[in-house]
Chains A and B, each alone.
Chain A
Amino acid sequence: MAKMTGAQAVVEAFSREKVDFVFGLPGGACLPLYDALYDAKFKVILVRHEQGAVHMAEGYARSTGKPGVVVVTSGPGATNTVTGIADAYMDSIPLVVITGQVKSFLIGNDAFQEADVTGITRPITKHNYLVKNVNDLPRVLKEAFYLASHGRPGPVLIDFPSDVSLAQFDFEYPETVNIRGFKPVLHGHPGQIKKAAKMIEESKRPVIYTGGGVIISGAAKELIELVEKTNAPCTNTLMGLGGVPGTHPLFMGMLGMHGTVYSNRAVHESDLLIAIGARFDDRVTGDLKKFAPLAKIIHIDVDPSAISKNVKVDVPIVGDVREVLEELNKVVKPADTKEWLATIEGWKKESPLRYTDDSTNVRPQYAIQKLCEILGSDAIVTTDVGQHQMWAAQYYKVDGPNQFLTSGGLGTMGYGFPAAIGAQLGHPDKIVVCVTGDGSIQMNIQEMATAVIHKLPVKIAIINNNYLGMVRQWQEAFYHHRYSSSDMSGNPDFVKLAEAYGAVGRRIEKKADVENAIAWSKTITDRPCILDFAVVEEENVYPMIPSGKSFEEIIDMA
C-alpha cells in the first residue's frame, strides 16, 4: 500500500494497465491530474480539441486492440468528447475517458465549467462512474479498463471531481474484478455450433457475412479458415473490412447500400446467411422484409441484444467470435458450392465494381486505387464519412484486420484524421493514410499541429470535389438537383494550410500527376503530408441501394 493522491492513483493505474498514450487537453478541474501526468512514464499527447483526443484514442485502440485513454477537463472539455464517445459506443471501440469535474461539494450548483457529464454520456457509454470517494477509485479504474475491453467493447467514462483527485489515501490496486452484473458469455453453445455446422454442410448457396466483431475479437485467421474450409463466399460490412484479405478469391467485397452488386445479389439469393460479429444495420439490410428472403440465418455475436434485434434468427450463437469460430472450424464440413460460386462469378463478370475512367481528369476511384497500389495494401487506412469513405471501402483493398478504420455506426465527419494520428502513434513503422473529403477534413483540421509536433508522417488524401459529396449525390438523386447548402465554396488552399502548420502538401489536378504525387508522399517521413486531389466534382458512388429499399432496386451505374 502506498500513500498517494487520487490523481497520482490514476497515473499509477494507467501504468499498471500498460497504457502507452494518454490523449487530452488540460483545464481547471483536471489540473491535479495533469500535474501527476507530468511525471508519467508513458506519453501524453496534447491535442487541439477534445474531440480530436477521443478519435485519436479510437484510432490507437482499433489499430492496436488495446483500450484508448483520454483525459480532459470538466464542462466544455467533457462535452467536446461527446461525439467521439458516441462514435466509440456505436462501433464498439474500447476507451477509458476520464473527465475532470468540479469539486464534489459544488456539484449541482451550476459551478464554473460544470456539466452533468454522467447524465450526458449515459446513453453513449458502456458504463460510467462519478467518483465521490477516493477510496472507490482503484476499484473503479480497474473495472473501467476491464469493462472497456471485455465482452462487446465500448467506452467507459469516469467523472472525477478535482477535490477527490487531491485527496490523499492508501492506494492498493485490485488484482481482479468481480462485477456481478457483467458476465459476458464467451463460449458458444456446443449444440448450437453443431447445428450451425450441419446447416452449412447442407446448404447450397451459403454466404458468410461478417462485421466489426471479427476484427475486435481477433478472429481474422479463424474466419479465413472457415471461408476456405466451407468454400462459402464471404462479404464484409464496412466495419468488417480486412476480416478477409481484399483480394481473397472467395471475397465478394462489401455488401449493403454501396456494396458490390454480386455480394448483395448473393445475399438476396442465398439459402443460408452466416452472420458473424455483424448486426444487420439498416445500411446493410435496406428493406428488412425483402432482405435475404430465401435464407435461414445463423448469427454469431458476443452481444445477446444484437441477436434477433432486426431479423429473426434460426440459429443464434452467443459467444466471442474467435472462440466460436475455433469450435465451428473443428466440426464444420465443406458445403457443395461449386455451382453457387460459378453463378456468383457470372454476376461478378456481368456487374463488376467499376467506374468511367477519364484520360485527363482525376476520378476519385482512380486516385484511391493508386493510393492502394503505391502506399500498399498493408497500410493502415482511416477514412472520414461520405463518398470518399465508400470509395475507400470499395477500392482500397486492405490485407488484414485492424487496417481499415472508419466511423461506421455514428458516421462522424472529422473522425479520420485524428484516428490516423492515433494509429500512427501505435504503429510508428507503418504507413498510415487518411482518405478524407474536403468537408470532413475541416472538422478536425486543427490536429495538424498535434501531428506536426510529434513528427507523424500521416498521409492525408483529400478527395476534393468542392461539395459535401454524399449530400450532393442524394440531393441530385432524390431532391431534384437542389444543392441546398452542400457547396463547399470557400475551401482553403490545403497546400498552404499544410505549410502554415509546418507540414507539406501538393495539389493534384491531372490524372497524369496522381502516381507521382503519391510516390512523393511516401518519401515524407517526418511530418504529415496533404495530397489534395481535385477530383471530378459530380462523380457518384455506385452501386447504390436507395435507403429503405431492397436489392431489387439496386442502381448499378447511372
Chain B
Amino acid sequence: MAVHDATPVRERILSVLVENRSGVLSHVVGLFSARGYNIESLAVGETEDPTMSRITLVSQGDDKTLEQIKKQLNKLIDVIKIQDLTDEGFIDRELMLVKMKTSPALKEVLNSLAPQYRIHVVEETLEITTVECTETRENRKKIFEKFKEIGIVEIAQTGATALSKKTPGSK
C-alpha cells in the first residue's frame, strides 16, 4: 500500500532557530496557515547570537503532518535549524498573568497552590489580586482551570518557551 498508516494526533513542541530579521516571523506563521497546520502557541526571542532568534512552537498533528511541517519549515530560507523536542527531554515554561477578585477563597487557593507551583502574588488591592505563574505547559493548564473555577477578571498568557535537556553539540 502506498498510503501512510494513520498515527494519533498529539501535541508537538518544536524549537526553530531563524535569522533575526524583519519578515521572518511572517514567513513561519504564513507557512502554517497556507498549509493548514495548527499553531497552539508560539514564542520568539533573540538568542546568545544576536543574528539569530529562537521560535518555540507548539503544534498538533500526526506523525506524517509533523514530518511535513518540519520539512516545509526547513525549506524556508530564513530557517537555520529545527529541533523536535517532543520525544527528547526538554525544559519548558509558560508565563501567565491573572487578575482575580480579592477574596478569602482566592487566598485559600493560592496558599494551597504556592508550595507546589511557581506562583506568586504580584500586586494586591482591596478589589483585585494579580498573580504571576511561571510553569510548565502542563502545570499551567491545571492552574488555569483552578483559577477559572474562582473566576478570572483578566488574563494574559505567553506560549511555551523551551530548551532541550541535551548539551548543544552532543549526540
Contacts and interface: CB of A to CB of B under 8 A. Distances in A.
Contacts of A295: 2
Interface string A179-214: 111100000000000000000000000000000000
Interface stretch (A119-127, A323-331, A366-374, A439-447): A119-127
Contacts of A126: 77
Contacts of A304: 71, 74
A508 to B, nearest CB: 45
A181 B2 contact: no
Nearest to A312: B4
Nearest to A295: B2
Contacts of A291: 2
B77 A147 contact: yes
Nearest to B67: A308
Nearest to A147: B77
B2 A303 contact: no
A305 interface: yes
The 5 lowest CB-CB distance pairs between A and B, nearest first, are A305-B71, A311-B2, A127-B77, A123-B34, A181-B80
A101 to B, nearest CB: 14
A179 B77 contact: yes
A309 B3 contact: no
B75 A305 contact: yes
B2 A308 contact: no
A180 B77 CA distance: 8
B68 interface: yes
Contacts of B72: 305
A181 B3 contact: no
A309 B64 CA distance: 8
Interface of A: 118-119, 122-123, 126-127, 130, 147, 179-182, 288-289, 291-293, 295, 297, 303-305, 308-309, 311-312
Nearest to A126: B77
A20 to B, nearest CB: 26
B27 A293 contact: no
B3 A182 contact: no
Nearest to A290: B2
Contacts of A309: 68, 71
Given A119-B26, A123-B30, A305-B72, A289 B78 contact: no
Interface string B1-40: 1111100000000000011000100110011001000000
Contacts of A119: 26
Contacts of B31: 123
Contacts of A292: 2
Nearest to B64: A308
Contacts of B1: 289, 293, 312
A122 B19 CA distance: 16
Contacts of B78: 127, 181
Interface in B45-83: 64, 67-68, 71-72, 74-80
Contacts of A312: 1-5
A543 to B, nearest CB: 21
20 contacts: A118-B23, A122-B26, A123-B31, A127-B77, A180-B19, A181-B18, A181-B19, A288-B2, A288-B3, A289-B1, A291-B2, A292-B2, A293-B1, A303-B75, A308-B4, A309-B68, A309-B71, A311-B2, A311-B4, A312-B3
A308 B70 CA distance: 13
B71 A297 contact: no
A122 B30 contact: yes
